Amino acid sequence: MAAIQKIGVIGAGQMGCGIAHVCAQAGYNVQVFDLSQDRIEAGLATINGNLARQVSNGKLSEDERKATLSRITGSADMSDLAPMDLVIEAATEEEATKRKIYAQLCPILKPEALLATNTSSLSITRLASATDRPERFMGIHFMNPVPVMKLVELVRGIATDETTFTTAREFVATLEKTVTVAEDFPAFIVNRILLPMINEAIYTLYEGVGSVEAIDTAMKLGANHPMGPLQLADFIGLDTCLSIMQVLHDGLADTKYRPCPLLVKYVEAGWLGRKSGRGFYDYRGETPVPTR
């Protein structure tokens, strides 16, 4: 397997930009693809802001910030991903969307290129079957926010070959991240444990056991969590939380993974958390205010 030098990232959202940031900071040339030029420009501005914060915190020099930015380019033309050695798909957590992307992407990629998904819950084996290179496909799941979080889950599909896995592991090490290896079961390790806890916190709210503030305070001070579960749900995005719970419920056929009806209601209302301005907290004022 040739050394990885050029990296493509599909999706200029929160995760895609975070992945592009850490890859460029590690010295890789990165091409970010998104359908919308506006999203690309907003994403590059976010990366610049995050790099500037690292400079002000003394974690990065100004020269390093400029060098990192110079390694990132954005494009709304998928054919610009043709020369990439590794492409990481960080699109929305919907299987149909990811399959559509692979159908367009695979004919463009060179035969030896590796393809990875940043999915937080979907079957790697099933996604791999939608590509022309299941043996060179695997899950490389970064945590959010990518520049801060040290963990990356590596997940092999049934067809992933050993060279692909080894190359992915070595690549992640160059980003100064810690690898944990998960088997290809719904939601892998982190979200298999984390999302049912968040879902249970939402049930606790739904059943009137405690208010938003009471639940978050209880878990921060009673379990020493840095962020309450409802605050964390808003940070992740309630649509993403619901999607992962549905994957767990469908994939494992166990009623303990049933998404809380209140979570469903919030998503139906478009109250998706921080990104939409309202979730379990209302973010439209100077300070977040609980919505229940």
pLDDT band for 124, please (50, 70, 90 cuts). Answer: very high
3-state secondary structure the chain: CCCCCEEEEECCCHHHHHHHHHHHHCCCEEEEECCCHHHHHHHHHHHHHHHHHHHHCCCCCHHHHHHHHHCEEEECCHHHHCCCCEEEECCCCCHHHHHHHHHHHCCCCCCCCEEEECCCCCCHHHHHCCCCCHHHEEEEEECCCCCCCCEEEEEECCCCCHHHHHHHHHHHHHCCCEEEEECCCCCCCHHHHHHHHHHHHHHHHHCCCCCHHHHHHHHHHHCCCCCCHHHHHHHHCHHHHHHHHHHHHHHHCCHHHCCCHHHHHHHHCCCCEHHHCECCEECCCCCCEECC
C-alpha–C-alpha distance, residues 195 and 213, integer Å: 19
Q: Is 120 a catalytic residue?
A: yes
| Residue given tokens 């020269």 in the structure block | 63
153 is catalytic: yes
pLDDT digits (tens, 9 = 90+) for 210-239: 999 999 999 999 999 999 999 999 999 999
pLDDT per position as a tens digit, 1-25: 458 999 999 999 999 999 999 999 9
Q: Which of 120, 121, 199, 243 is catalytic?
A: 120
Question: Do 156 and 165 touch, CB atoms closer than 8 A?
Answer: yes
Of the candidates 89, 93, 123, 141, the residue annotated as catalytic is 141
**pLDDT in the model for residue 2:** 55
Which domains occur in the chain, in start order?
A: 6-182 (3.40.50.720), 190-290 (1.10.1040.50)
* Interior angle at CA 175, CA 65 and CA 97, nearest 5: 95
Q: Quick check: is 191 catalytic?
A: yes
pLDDT at position 123 over 80: yes
**pLDDT surpassing 70 at residue 260:** yes
Sheet holding 151-156, edge to edge: 72-75, 29-33, 6-10, 86-89, 114-117, 137-142, 151-156, 178-182
Quick check: 26 and 175 in contact, CB under 8 A? yes
Catalytic residue among 89, 118, 123, 153: 153
The one catalytic residue among 118, 121, 191, 199:
191
Question: What digits encode the pLDDT tens for the residues 47-99?
Answer: 999 999 999 999 999 999 999 999 999 999 999 999 999 999 999 999 999 99
